[in-house]
Amino acid sequence: MSGSWLGTIPPRPEQVRRLGKQASAVVNYFTQKDGFEYVAHFGEEGLSGGALLFNRWSPTDGMFMGQFIAKYMGPSAPGGSFMADLLVDREFRVLDILRGAEHIVQLAEAGRVKIAGRDSLLMEYVGHGTLKAMVDRFQDRLIPIPNHILWNIFLCSMAHPPRGQQDAAIRREVLPTTPPAQESTAGVVHGDLHFENVCLAGVPTGDREHTFGPLVKFIDFGSASILDENEGVESLSSMPNDSSAVSSYDGDVDEANILAIGELMCSLALCEDVICHPNGRDVTMKGRTINTKAPRELDAPSVAIEDDLRLLIYLCTSADPDDRPSLVDLLEACEYGVATRKAAFYTTMPDKGVYETDEYVLRVLQEVILNAEQDKSVERKRSGRRVSALDPRRRRRTMSIVPRRKTVT
């Protein structure tokens, strides 16, 4: 016992019995310090690494100070220890740039710490699971994700993060205009955007933008690239001083992110994590012909999304980057969708808007997203690749053809 009021909090034997060597080293590192308590391991323990949840208590008065995640790399991470250290370093540098961005997971404590010769990242804990877990719960209930929630997530995804400083206050991202000399925006391409790399952080009180949807936060920037502002957009590389892993991406930052967000929204609309077509296909909607990467499943009338949302997904996934909307136009469309699509609007849809009433959406938000039990089996790290929309092995879902119900079961 140390000389502080609280002292150390050793983990219970059953908590650490099955942890690997590196995970155990991380747990021991923190629990030997005053005020740190090990809570749980996230995901299945694997040789490539994992994430550990800790509580933080004040050593002086025992007050609860919050929670954080320690992300560690194991002894058999892809590419070996050298590449694992590069990935951790890259992610730390990206998150260091994105300090203060509301829709980006934030660094916690010191940000990173070396334990048993390997770097671990320290990040805020986002407590309502991932989009993957959310989608699984909608699938289990055989109900579609309401348009209200889809519009909200689309708008959250439009965040343009600031280039923050250490201890920067959390703030909502805005589109760049002419930033002051002391502030600039960060051009970041995530590089690996899918359901398990987007977390749900609850619903901010009194926030009109999130009345009918959760605040989302993007995580896992180990594959990210950033724009070198001094050399221009075509000089996009993985990270400064990281000559071993240069990104092959040579396009525009916004075009790449808009495509990734469009693919994410396409998967959400289908309630299935899919990979879009590698080559485009023509669709005609509202008098426009669009060569889109979106799979044919999105065309089906049984996919219960409104036409403007469907059209926006087609445009964001356009095979030709020049046909994708600008960041400004896309933001305006998402803001318009969130602000104007009230319950009455959806009464003309085939299901008469039974999934879009204020009462129903708020109940879904509470029961399916905010109060849902976090099942470790759906929070585990993805094993195997995501299936393609063209893959005949893709599991068929019945949620879009089941009898309509007005309540969440």
| DSSP calls for 367-396 | IIIIS----HHHHSPP-SPPPBTT-TTSPP
- Which residue bears the tokens 């749980």? 40
pLDDT tens for residues 350-407?
A: 888 899 999 999 999 988 888 865 444 333 332 233 333 333 223 333 333 233 333 4
For residues 233 and 327, the model is more confident at 327
Residues 6+ apart with CB under 8 A from 181: none
pLDDT > 70 fraction of the chain, expressed in percent and rounded: 71
Top-level CATH class of 131-379?
A: mainly alpha
Strand partners, 275: 388
* Number of neighbours of residue 212 by Cβ within 10 angstroms: 23
Of the candidates 28, 91, 20, the residue with the CA atom closest to the CA atom of residue 50: 20
Q: How far apart are CA 224 and CA 254, in angstroms?
A: 14
Domain segments of the chain as ranges = 13-124, 131-379
Mean pLDDT of the chain: 76
CA atoms within 13 Å, Cβ hemisphere of 87: 20
| Domain range 13-124, its CATH number among 3.90.226.10, 3.30.200.20, 3.40.50.12780, 3.40.50.720 | 3.30.200.20
| Mean of pLDDT values over 43-71 | 83
Vertex 169 angle, CA 164 and 174, to 5°: 60
Of the candidates 127, 151, 137, the residue with the CA atom closest to the CA atom of residue 202: 127
Q: How far apart are CA 223 and CA 260, in angstroms?
A: 13
The Cα-based distances of 397 to 124, 160, 192, 296 in angstroms read: 34, 34, 25, 15
Max mean pLDDT among 31-40, 179-188, 228-237, 270-279 falls in 31-40
Tokens encoding 56: 């933080």
The Cα-based distances of 176 to 18, 159, 377 in angstroms read: 48, 11, 40
The reported pLDDT for the residue numbered 88 is 86
Query: Structure pTM?
Result: 0.78
Of the candidates 148, 86, 143, 150, the residue with the CA atom closest to the CA atom of residue 118: 86
Answer yes or no: are the C-beta atoms of 112 and 87 closer than 8 Å.
no
* Number of neighbours of residue 246 by Cβ within 10 angstroms: 12
Question: What confidence category does residue 77 fall into, taking pLDDT thresholds of 50, 70 and 90?
Answer: low
The Cα-based distances of 270 to 196, 280, 344, 399 in angstroms read: 16, 18, 23, 10
CA-based R_g, the chain, Å: 22
Q: How far apart are CA 236 and CA 255, in angstroms?
A: 13
Vertex 204 angle, CA 201 and 209, to 5°: 105
The reported pLDDT for the residue numbered 90 is 86
pLDDT tens for residues 292-350?
A: 999 999 999 888 899 999 999 999 999 999 899 988 899 899 999 999 999 999 998 88
